[in-house]
Amino acid sequence: MTREDARALDAADPIAPFRDRFALPDGVIYLDGNSLGALPRSVPVALADAAQRQWGTRLIRSWNEGWIDVPQRLGAKIAPLIGAAADEVIVGDTTSTHLFKAIVAALRHHSGRRTVVSEAGNFPTDLHIAEGAVACVPGARLKVVERAALADALDDDTALLLLTHVHYKTSERFDLAGWTARAHAAGALMLWDFSHSVGAVRLDVTAAEADMAVGCTYKFLNGGPGAPAFLYVARRHQAALANPISGWMGHAEPFAFQDGYRPADGMKRWLVGTPSILAMASLEVALDLWTGIDEDALATKSAALFAILAQAGAAAGLSCVSPADPAARGSHISFRAPYAYALTQALIARGVIGDFRDPDILRLGLTPLYLSHEDVWQAGEHLRAIVATEEWRDPAFSTRNAVT
Amino acid sequence: MTREDARALDAADPIAPFRDRFALPDGVIYLDGNSLGALPRSVPVALADAAQRQWGTRLIRSWNEGWIDVPQRLGAKIAPLIGAAADEVIVGDTTSTHLFKAIVAALRHHSGRRTVVSEAGNFPTDLHIAEGAVACVPGARLKVVERAALADALDDDTALLLLTHVHYKTSERFDLAGWTARAHAAGALMLWDFSHSVGAVRLDVTAAEADMAVGCTYKFLNGGPGAPAFLYVARRHQAALANPISGWMGHAEPFAFQDGYRPADGMKRWLVGTPSILAMASLEVALDLWTGIDEDALATKSAALFAILAQAGAAAGLSCVSPADPAARGSHISFRAPYAYALTQALIARGVIGDFRDPDILRLGLTPLYLSHEDVWQAGEHLRAIVATEEWRDPAFSTRNAVT
């Protein structure tokens, strides 16, 4: 591929106009949108309105002028991105807190079954939170096994299978419907973590018959650093599953100020405390960017960006750990190298921001909304140029720069 | 009191210059800062910087340029407001989530004791969360009793006494040191909710030997709607108490990406997921306003504002439910009336924003930082004028406008 080839792809790219909706710094090729999405240009305006008009001028009255419904309203905006109905998603808290609530709820629902099964090497907070959640349910335990052993780990004691849909390091993607069906065949509920999937790949929880899902909004959804996360609970489970962190915002009548807790109907029961309205204001306009996006065009572009870097990595002699089949991966590409840390730093020095994942992974995010084919081609050229220098070919250098 | 008297108090008020640091709408006397504090003028600037420079331009690099330490940095700024050391407070999550973590932790710490004692009519989320927390610890239970029965409710099964320091309706204040000592004498830990105290009254957790405390930052601390809450854990308990919502941000090495949870030392272990940096940016500059404030002058002014409204209320024939002794209350005043809802609405129609608390309380917040004596005197005049009209004297009207 040449620069001209990349430009030709850009000229024909139906997603290309979305780049102008983001503020990106000059001199940077940003390949870390899978960790922190870029700033939508609409966000500073929305923040100024939320602070100056809604908070500053309307003050407490704003709670009756839109704030109180923000968790549901944003949930309804995320719903189409995961194939859910508007009343099956709510926004607030962190991904970790949602995981805690969902795992405890699932264990209590399945009182005869005591095991949560998950994958070794899953994103740490999924496993850490599962560890904490099982400690809140008498007799419950967490079974963490390698991917190859997951199917055999499901048995008649399994209450819940917890999987992260797209792996944060390798980009490997689980078959959403297939693994949900496996969990159901074993009599378990299925909880998906979509943190590296939502906004990156097409999701359909309804077709897959998924029971619950959580997801991060500050990666491919560009909601802002630490933006509130979402929780999906299939409508068929909403009445039976209860939130263990039973805060007032999830009460049926929070402003009746009753001593006893009585959960709200629907997704509202999953709320805990008062959400940050400023964080929600940023996320809301970031979500509005997704209106009218052609998901097929997005997937096509993601695959094209991947191919450019895969080719550059292969030319540099790097080992790609992400699947070759677009249907089997998310929207980032990872290379394994003992000197991955030094390589990440060298790329950053050239304005190519990716990230390093301990101990030996260089991870590069491919965000079709604001990356051009030429950007990614240029990043690939930098990658090749760095690895091709004599210094980098020297085994002693590689060892010196390895993180051990 | 006359308008001139109020103006004379304003002229001599050392706190008066702080009013200019807040953006308040024209034509409004804002007596609801105990529910949502007013907008500091520094907030929109801080939000723009956090969004445009830190997020937009520095992108993921900002995590290494200050974001990762925000929970501790803001905790250190809250610490002096409650009499804690800088390393005893952390910010993030909601008050409700902090309550959940603290209650479960206390129950597990005191494995031989199974009861959490709290007050009937406490702020609902405290009781709701306690209900959820005891369900996470085998054999634990919640005992909710009237204020007069609290002392007798403490016994050798009490693991934790949970009290809200200043009552959200009545403004009644518990004796911090006295009730902490009572809990300790019974062998229990003491958990305070400072939501209506912090920024309103002088607090000293160190002198009181309080064990744990939580508090809201969007009331008297003006952090913004739904601003992140704080958690205090006395240093002597930090190693022994564990966070049940064991998320990756509380891990000793979150970026080592290990499967097993290992809690960080100190307050960091109480973190769960990634906090909203935008929400934190707003809160941080709101907290910076407190530097150099004379707490005695603040208390004096709060008492003077209270006296003005207490006098107006008495002249209007309203029943004040807040204590006459300044040391026995917070910084709001509440009146009980069967037509309190209609009265609240009538005040709002005249630009005086207070709030109604079901079923019969008119609640007026007294925030010395941005209210003048004249503001409060004017509000009192409105209150007297409304209640004095023939219509309001008509028992039929009162009944018609009562919330039942």
Nearest one of A340, A326, A371, A378 to A169, comparing CA atoms: A340
User: Chain A partners of B258 at a C-beta cutoff of 8 Å?
Assistant: 124
The crossing angle, in degrees rounded to 10, of helices B70-82 and B277-288 is: 30
Give Cβ neighbours of residue A402 (< 8 Å, ≥ 6 apart).
A338, A339, A341, A342, A360
Q: Is the pLDDT of residue B288 over 70?
A: yes
SS3 category, B177: helix
Nearest one of A272, A218, A77 to B100, comparing CA atoms: A272
Tell me the shortest Cα–Cα distance from A316 to chain B, in angstroms.
26
SS3 category, A181: helix
Strands A141-145 and B332-336: unpaired
Q: What is residue A404's predicted lDDT score, i.e. its pLDDT?
A: 42
As a whole number, the mean pLDDT across chain A is 95
Q: Report the C-alpha gap between B279 and A55 in whole angstroms.
A: 13
- Hey, are the CB atoms on B273 and A228 less than 8 Å from each other? no
User: Chain A partners of B357 at a C-beta cutoff of 8 Å?
Assistant: 257
Q: Is the pLDDT of residue A207 over 90?
A: yes
Q: What is residue A394's predicted lDDT score, i.e. its pLDDT?
A: 65
Nearest one of B355, B255, B276, B74 to A226, comparing CA atoms: B276
Q: What is residue B28's predicted lDDT score, i.e. its pLDDT?
A: 97
Give Cα separations from B209 to A343, B91, B149, B197 (angstroms): 52, 21, 23, 17
- Hey, are the CB atoms on B124 and A226 less than 8 Å from each other? no
- Hey, are the CB atoms on B278 and A282 less than 8 Å from each other? yes
Q: Report the C-alpha gap between B264 and B250 in whole angstroms.
A: 6
- Hey, are the CB atoms on B218 and A274 less than 8 Å from each other? yes
Q: Where are the beta strands (DSSP E) in B32-107?
A: 39-40, 89-91
Q: In the A/B pair of chains, how many CB contacts fall below 8 A? A: 280
Give Cβ neighbours of residue B3 (< 8 Å, ≥ 6 apart).
B374, B377, B378
Nearest-Å Rg of the Cα atoms of chain B is: 22
User: Chain B partners of A246 at a C-beta cutoff of 8 Å?
Assistant: 128-129, 131-132
Q: Which residue of B60, B120, B226 is in closest CB contact with A277?
A: B226
- Tally the C-alpha atoms within 13 A of residue B333's C-alpha that lie toward its C-beta: 25
Q: Report the C-alpha gap between A219 and A173 in whole angstroms.
A: 16
- Hey, are the CB atoms on B258 and A124 less than 8 Å from each other? yes
Neighbours of B230 (CB within 10 A): 33
Q: Report the C-alpha gap between A50 and A66 in whole angstroms.
A: 11
Q: Report the C-alpha gap between A377 and A303 in whole angstroms.
A: 13
Q: Which fold has domain B46-288?
A: Aspartate Aminotransferase; domain 2 (3.40.640)
pLDDT digits (tens, 9 = 90+) for B334-387: 999 988 999 999 999 999 999 999 889 999 999 999 999 999 999 999 999 999
SS3 category, B110: coil
Q: Report the C-alpha gap between A210 and A233 in whole angstroms.
A: 9
Residue A145's DSSP bridge partners are: A119
Q: Which amino acid appears at position B138 of this protein?
A: P
pLDDT digits (tens, 9 = 90+) for B160-198: 999 999 999 999 999 999 999 999 999 999 999 999 999
Q: Which residue of B51, B57, B246 is in closest CB contact with A43?
A: B51
User: Mind giving me the DSSP string for B259-317?
Assistant: SS--BPSGGGGG--SPPPHHHHHHHHHHHHTTTT--HHHHHHHHHHHHHHHHHHHHHTT
User: Chain A partners of B132 at a C-beta cutoff of 8 Å?
Assistant: 243-247, 261
Q: What's the average model confidence in pLDDT over A206-220? A: 98
- List b or e across A282-292, with b for residues whose CB sees 16 or more CB atoms inside 10 angstroms: bbbbbbebbee
Angle at A339 between CA A337 and CA A340, to 5 degrees: 65
The CA-to-CA distance between both ends of chain B, in Å, stands at 35
Suggest the residue from B21, B60, B164, B284 to mutate for an interface test with chain A (most A CBs closer than 10 A). Answer: B60
Tell me the shortest Cα–Cα distance from A127 to chain B, in angstroms.
6
The CA-to-CA distance between both ends of chain A, in Å, stands at 35
* Assigned token pair, A285: 């306009």
Neighbours of A49 (CB within 10 A): 14
- Reply yes or no on whether A218 is catalytic: yes
Which CATH superfamily hosts domain B3-30+294-400? Answer: Aspartate Aminotransferase, domain 1 (3.90.1150.10)
Nearest one of A63, A81, A159 to A117, comparing CA atoms: A159
Give Cβ neighbours of residue A59 (< 8 Å, ≥ 6 apart).
B25, B28, B30, B32, B36, B38, B353
Longest dimension (CA), chain B: 72
Q: Is the pLDDT of residue B48 over 80?
A: yes
Nearest one of A69, A120, A83, A113 to A275, comparing CA atoms: A69
Strands A332-336 and A319-320: antiparallel
A16, A372 contact by CB (below 8 A): yes
Q: Is the dihedral of CA A271, A274, A278, A281 positive or negative?
A: positive
Q: How confident is the model at residue B111 (pLDDT cuts 50, 70, 90)?
A: confident
B96, B231 contact by CB (below 8 A): no
Q: Is the dihedral of CA A327, A332, A333, A338 positive or negative?
A: negative
Q: What is residue A390's predicted lDDT score, i.e. its pLDDT?
A: 65
Q: How confident is the model at residue A204 (pLDDT cuts 50, 70, 90)?
A: very high
DSSP state of B142: E
- Reply yes or no on whether A174 is catalytic: no
Strands B352-353 and A355-357: unpaired
Nearest one of B226, B227, B62, B246 to A218, comparing CA atoms: B62
Domain boundaries, chain A: 3-30+294-400, 46-288
Nearest one of A125, A139, A134, A143 to A104, comparing CA atoms: A134
Nearest one of A18, A68, A72, A23 to A45, comparing CA atoms: A23
Q: What's the average model confidence in pLDDT over A130-159? A: 98
The residue annotated as part of the active site, out of B168, B301, B363, B370, is B363
User: Mind giving me the DSSP string for A229-273?
Assistant: PEEEE-GGGTTT---SS--GGGBSSGGG--SS--BPSGGGGG--S
In chain A, the residue whose alpha carbon lies closest to the alpha carbon of B48 is A44
- CA B33 vs. chain centroid, Å, equals 10
Phi, psi of B175 (to 5 degrees): -75, 110
Tell me the shortest Cα–Cα distance from B247 to chain A, in angstroms.
5
- Reply yes or no on whether B363 is catalytic: yes
Q: Is the pLDDT of residue A79 over 90?
A: yes
- Hey, are the CB atoms on A129 and B245 less than 8 Å from each other? yes
- Reply yes or no on whether A341 is catalytic: no
A34, A331 contact by CB (below 8 A): yes
Q: What is residue B391's predicted lDDT score, i.e. its pLDDT?
A: 73
Q: How confident is the model at residue A111 (pLDDT cuts 50, 70, 90)?
A: confident
Tell me the shortest Cα–Cα distance from B236 to chain A, in angstroms.
23
* Assigned token pair, A158: 């399994």
For residues B240 and A391, the model is more confident at B240
Q: Which residue of A60, A120, A226 is in closest CB contact with B277?
A: A226
Q: How confident is the model at residue B27 (pLDDT cuts 50, 70, 90)?
A: very high
Give Cβ neighbours of residue B161 (< 8 Å, ≥ 6 apart).
B116, B117, B118, B150, B154, B179, B182, B183, B186, B188, B189, B190, B191
- Hey, are the CB atoms on B138 and A135 less than 8 Å from each other? no
Strands B230-233 and B212-215: antiparallel
- Hey, are the CB atoms on A52 and B23 less than 8 Å from each other? yes
Burial class (CB in 10 A: 0-12, 13-18, 19+), A146: exposed
User: Mind giving me the DSSP string for A328-395?
Assistant: GB-SEEEEE-TTHHHHHHHHHHTTEE-EEETTTEEEEE--TTT--HHHHHHHHHHHHHHHHSHHHH-H
Nearest one of A285, A382, A366, A372 to A326, comparing CA atoms: A366
SS3 category, A40: strand
Q: How confident is the model at residue A389 (pLDDT cuts 50, 70, 90)?
A: confident
Q: What is residue A400's predicted lDDT score, i.e. its pLDDT?
A: 58
* Assigned token pair, B175: 């004796």
In chain B, the residue whose alpha carbon lies closest to the alpha carbon of A125 is B248
Q: Is the pLDDT of residue A236 over 60?
A: yes
The residue annotated as part of the active site, out of B18, B22, B30, B123, is B123
Q: How confident is the model at residue B399 (pLDDT cuts 50, 70, 90)?
A: low
Q: What is residue B292's predicted lDDT score, i.e. its pLDDT?
A: 87
Range with the poorest average pLDDT among A139-153, A271-285, B259-273, B379-393: B379-393
Q: What is residue B402's predicted lDDT score, i.e. its pLDDT?
A: 56
User: Chain A partners of B144 at a C-beta cutoff of 8 Å?
Assistant: 259
Q: Report the C-alpha gap between A242 and A109 in whole angstroms.
A: 8
User: Chain B partners of A137 at a C-beta cutoff of 8 Å?
Assistant: 136
Q: Is the pLDDT of residue A312 over 50?
A: yes
Q: Which amino acid appears at position A69 of this protein?
A: D
In chain A, the residue whose alpha carbon lies closest to the alpha carbon of B272 is A96
Q: How confident is the model at residue B390 (pLDDT cuts 50, 70, 90)?
A: low
User: Chain B partners of A44 at a C-beta cutoff of 8 Å?
Assistant: 47-48, 51-52
User: Chain A partners of B71 at a C-beta cutoff of 8 Å?
Assistant: none
